Structure 1
Amino acid sequence: MTLARRLILAAAAALVLIAPQAALAADFPSRPVKIVVPYPAGGSTDVLMRVMAPVLQGQWGVPVVIENRPGAGSVIGATAVAKAAPDGYTLGIVANAFSVAPSLRDVMPYDTLKDFTPLTQLTFTPNVLVTSPAEGFKSMKDLQDAAKAGRKDLSAGSIGNGTAAHLALEKFKALSGMKILHVPFQGSAPGLTALIGGQTQLLMAPLPDVLPFVRGGKVLALGVGSAARVPQLPEVPTFIASGYAGFESGAWFGMLAPAGLEPRLAARISADFVAALAAPAVKEKLTLLGLTPVGSSQQDFQKLLAAEVKGNGDIVRSAGIRID
């Protein structure tokens, strides 16, 4: 067989493989798309997806089905996505817990960085350190002064062991040198109850969870974990502005598909989510919730995941964090 004939046959074989993939991307979607939410209904992750679902349905012309698969710090839901067919019809939304899990568990049912196709980072929201007005801390400086004066009863709640809020608290403790007892709760609601009731003096939690309580005067925000002040609480300084250089911490949400999703289809789905985030109705609702739309590229989201897995792992090991 001549070289020319071998090249022709090889090219023909490649076209045979490419053609079905190209058709898959062109025909998507032809049936309902399922989005797995690894948290209970009503939480911020679930709410975010339900805000976006109507816009996605309008773009795709098919139903978008939200399936809540809570448990094990998002591992159960993420496993369902990892094991699904890589055809675009099963997608998953994940948050910080997804990148923390590998550091907290000896055995994982999937490889966090290899068994998924990153699509886009949807949003970001900073963690916020709040206190009860009854504690008398009007600013971060007041808290610092109390710690320097030897106050020993400082305790701070978080929304659970190994969560982004817990890791933010440990980072704050390391930077400030303050001795603060960590008290994990199962979510923000019991943490806020304990704070307002005087059982704890501080709480680290995502902005959407505490925003209504700050606006209602039930709690006072001392610092936000973003690079710049947030429009929802413009009067509250960042940790960086209060002297904690490099302190940025918050909750991100992003979309994943199973590994092996055809690249052109992955790019198409990623672009559709970015377009949905730009819809005025979505932007307005997310801003009210305290979420900042991002809409990153696939490559940037992949870099974020890799950086988060490493960075969170460093904090987990340094602070000796263990899951409940």
Structure 2
Amino acid sequence: MILITGAAGFIGSNLAAGLNDRGETGLILCDRLRSGEKWKNIRARRFDDLITPEDLPLWLAGKGKTLRAVCHLGAISSTTVTDGDAVARENLRFSLDLLDWCAVARVPFLYASSAATYGDGSAGFADDDDPDALARFTPLNLYAFSKHAFDGIVSRRRAAGAALPPQCVGLKFFNVFGPNEHHKGAMQSVLTKVWPDIRAGRPVKLFKSHHPDYPDGGQKRDFVYVRDCERVMLWLLDHPEVSGLFNVGTGTARTFQDCILAGFAAAGREPAIEYVDMPLEIRGKYQYFTEASLGGLRRAGYPHAPMALEAAVADYVTRHLLADNPYR
């Protein structure tokens, strides 16, 4: 059995789909469905149990010999969250409890970190898990702080030779987009967020640049398709000898304008973009450039090349956004 936390969320539900696609049905899904439509992300999935995070400690009792791996993808993922105690409880304490359980039970542990841990990017984007290397980064928001803090704890334990799971992998996901993110609201990828405008042929609104080195729409991100993230995780599950902290991106920064133009092209629409002022409350915390260094995964032996932006956007649009059922 494989346990997935955040299993009804964006990346978690795609991992569950990928595992089902290759014939694995012994999945334990852990998430809160609440009253929205997040349940649609897993309605096509085959699994053995669905439990809430509150029930997980009791469920885990005595399960060490039955679990093949824990994929911990659940978290408060909003970059604008302000409740520090909730973030500490959900993103840090819960993660540490799972880490400790996996260390004792000798169960492989994969967890979601984030490219947000790199802060403004001035210290680079190298996925070095040395404690001193991690100390160079300054997260810009509470969510990023929680992920960076957990990375640091794992890194220091590894450096000190302290107890860790037999496989312990952190994944710094960059700007992920793809199916099953409709429930994320304001935290959806930019392409998903503006898709109704693209489909209707209306102008798409993007933020103006407030940085002299970047034109409007020229802010850059490492946009990575969720299917590539899924493929990385499946490979890691098949290679339990690999541990470490790894970037998950394409290795190539592209502009927001590139992303939106690819969306218009895939939809067969004439492009139309308008630029609006960035809200004052996020200007001081805004990343103008992110680009994953993929050296860590390459050195670990990961063999696959990520999809180029235009190909990934075309796949997402044609297979999901234009489909009657956009869910995977």
TM-score, normalised by the number of residues in structure 1: 0.32
Structure of higher RCO (CA pairs closer than 8 Å, 6+ residues apart): 1
TM-score, normalised by the number of residues in structure 2: 0.32
The structure where helix makes up a greater share of residues is 1
Larger Rg: 1
